[in-house]
Amino acid sequence: MILFDSHCHIDDKSYDKDLDEVLGRADREGVKALMVVGIDLETTQKAIAIARGRNHIITSTGIHPHDASHCSPGLLDELTGLARDNDCVRAWGETGLDFNRMYSPQKDQETCFSAQIGIAADLGLPLIFHERDSRGRFYEILKSEGNGNGVVHCFSGTKEELFNYLDLGYSIGITGILTIQKRGAELREMAPLIPEDRILIETDAPYLTPAPIKNKVRRNEPAFVKSVLLRLAEIRNTDPERLSEIIFENTQKLYGTDFTV
Ligand SMILES: [Zn+2]
Ligand SMILES: [Zn+2]
């Protein structure tokens, strides 16, 4: 089995003490590549530091919608510079809209999101989107400003939203929510509807630990992306080995990597 954790935050301080062990466990489970996602300046810098000397790790940079009120042209320039200067930076994001917790005002979120769509296009990078409860605004902005190059990470929308994103050309990121009994029920209904070449899998570690592991360990880690793959194969009634290869290649294509394993 060959796995690509397309979205994790192993820069989180909860890994400071045992990152090498975490990466070792991932490797033994078949996780041969991973994307460490930046959500602001500090996490971007830490992700780049983690990727240094570890060829199977790539990173992204961006400003999370929660942080949009701190978005400024100066900060965006700084992140753009990091993306240009570091070969490990292969995507832009997380960016998007989150009206669930509203840590930043809607207006700031939308301005910051639009600006980042433009920057990613200039840099030729795919986007990593975070969307929650945006009441259609996310789709409206994507439809008018996006270029179809990106992934809606941790997809948790409706069937209509799913088809809208697919129609615009985007890929869909599936997390361990798929494995969770109640919370994952809707996602399990939609998962078979996604074309095979548009699926990515992710942990979003340290968050969203899959079931039943979550009853034993609280912190998620890249090795656990295997449970997402296995559950997905089961739901789609397909061979896990084959599905893992397809998803690995989907992820390589999106992030422009060429890992040979
Ligand atoms: Zn997110
Ligand atoms: Zn994330």
CA of 153 to the centre of ligand 2 (A): 7
Give the integer Cα–Cα distance in Å for 222 and 27: 9
The ligand placed nearest to the CA atom of residue 66 is 1
CA of 224 to the centre of ligand 1 (A): 18
Task: Give the model confidence (pLDDT) of 210-232 as tens digits.
Answer: 998 988 889 999 999 999 999 99
- 126: containing domain: 3-255
CA of 258 to the centre of ligand 2 (A): 23
* 133 located within any domain: yes
Which pTM value belongs to this model?
0.97
| Mean pLDDT, all residues of the chain | 97
The ligand placed nearest to the CA atom of residue 37 is 2
Q: Which residue has the tokens 């942990």?
A: 203
If one counts the domains in the chain, the total is 1
CA of 208 to the centre of ligand 2 (A): 10
pLDDT (0 to 100) of residue 214: 87
Average pLDDT over residues 107-135: 97
* 171 located within any domain: yes
CA of 39 to the centre of ligand 1 (A): 9
Give the integer Cα–Cα distance in Å for 261 and 253: 15
CA of 239 to the centre of ligand 1 (A): 29
* 261 located within any domain: no
CA of 207 to the centre of ligand 1 (A): 10
pLDDT (0 to 100) of residue 260: 86
pLDDT (0 to 100) of residue 185: 97
The secondary structure of 35-87 as a DSSP string is EEPP-SHHHHHHHHHHHTT-TTEEEEE---GGGGGG--HHHHHHHHHHHHH-T
* 37 located within any domain: yes
Task: Give the model confidence (pLDDT) of 186-209 as tens digits.
Answer: 999 999 999 999 999 999 999 999
Q: Which residue has the tokens 């509203």?
A: 102
CA of 130 to the centre of ligand 1 (A): 5
- CB 232: neighbour CB atoms within 10 A? 24
- Please give the C-alpha separations between residue 216 and each of 44, 209, 219, 228, in angstroms, as whole numbers: 30, 10, 9, 17
CA of 114 to the centre of ligand 2 (A): 19
The ligand placed nearest to the CA atom of residue 9 is 2
Model confidence at 87: pLDDT above 90:
yes
Model confidence at 18: pLDDT above 90:
yes
* 260 located within any domain: no
pLDDT (0 to 100) of residue 215: 86
* 70 located within any domain: yes
The ligand placed nearest to the CA atom of residue 96 is 1
CA of 153 to the centre of ligand 1 (A): 6
The secondary structure of 138-198 as a DSSP string is HHHHHHHH--S-EEETT----HHHHHHHHHTT-EEEE-GGGGSTTTTHHHHHHGGGS-GGG
The ligand placed nearest to the CA atom of residue 220 is 2
Task: Name which of 3, 91, 17, 111 is nearest 47 in CA terms.
Answer: 91
43 band by pLDDT with thresholds 50, 70 and 90: very high
CA of 200 to the centre of ligand 2 (A): 14
* 56 located within any domain: yes
The CATH code of the domain that includes 145 is: 3.20.20.140
CA of 172 to the centre of ligand 1 (A): 13
91, with CB counted inside 10 A (0-12, 13-18, 19+), is: buried
Model confidence at 162: pLDDT above 90:
yes
CA of 37 to the centre of ligand 2 (A): 7
